[in-house]
């Protein structure tokens, strides 16, 4: 994986399906001022992938409430994305998925983010949380058989928002509504004295 954590997200100009139409010059820069959760998946019309895309769609209102834009990306064409969006869920499709899907046929975006499976020409299940200034604040990558937790992705967006709002860090197993911790020795002492770390 390319080391971009803590750095400005690579400049991306590509094609994407946006609200049922192909946008020829889709950029990540257009979302400055919002958080972005950019997630890569191997291929349309496969098996684990539709479960992930549908789960992200189901949680989309929660991400939007946190000022976070969901964006999916695979090496399929935008035409394939459109066909998949028109296929019923009961037939393996993703009908109802409404967030943008990047069609990375030339694999440029996958290469920029370092998520291509060697020798396969498809992406790992990778995820990048980008803040309002375009800085990558969180990233993860799963092997192909391992579906992601949308709840964990949402928790990370909530953790970033908590840090931005309160200036406190999020300790192990932090969840929305839990206490944070000042990033000092005194803050640590106070936290462990009152909270059970598991």
Q: Give the residue numbers marked as catalytic.
A: 49
Q: Exposure string (b/e) for 149-159, b if CB count within 10 Å is 16 or more?
A: ebeebbbbbbb
Vertex 31: Cα angle to 158 and 130 (nearest 5): 45
Number of H helices, E strands in the chain: 5, 7
Distance CA 38, CA 71 (A): 5
- DSSP string of 47-81? SHHHHHHHHHHHHHHHHHHTTEEEEEEESS-HHHH
Count the neighbouring beta carbons within 10 Å of the beta carbon of residue 165: 9
Say if residues 10 and 4 touch (Cβ distance below 8 Å). yes
């Amino acid at each position: 994986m390319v080391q971009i954590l803590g750095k400005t997200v690579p400049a991306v100009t590509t094609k994407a399906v946006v609200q049922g139409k192909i946008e020829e010059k889709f950029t990540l820069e257009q979302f400055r001022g919002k958080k972005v959760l950019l997630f890569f998946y191997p291929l349309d019309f496969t098996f684990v992938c539709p479960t992930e895309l549908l789960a992200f769609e189901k949680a989309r209102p929660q991400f939007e409430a946190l000022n976070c834009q969901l964006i999916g990306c695979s090496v399929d064409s935008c035409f394939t994305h459109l066909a998949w969006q028109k296929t019923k869920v009961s037939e393996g499709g993703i009908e109802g998925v409404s967030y943008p899907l990047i069609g990375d046929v030339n694999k440029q975006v996958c290469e920029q983010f370092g998520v291509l499976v060697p020798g396969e020409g498809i992406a790992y299940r990778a995820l990048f949380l980008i803040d309002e200034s375009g800085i990558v604040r969180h990233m993860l990558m799963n092997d192909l058989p391992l579906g992601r937790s949308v709840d964990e992705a949402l928790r990370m967006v909530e953790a970033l928002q908590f840090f931005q709002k309160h200036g406190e860090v999020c300790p192990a197993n932090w969840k929305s509504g839990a206490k944070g911790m000042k990033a000092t020795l005194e803050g640590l002492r106070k936290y462990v004295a009152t909270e059970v770390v598991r």
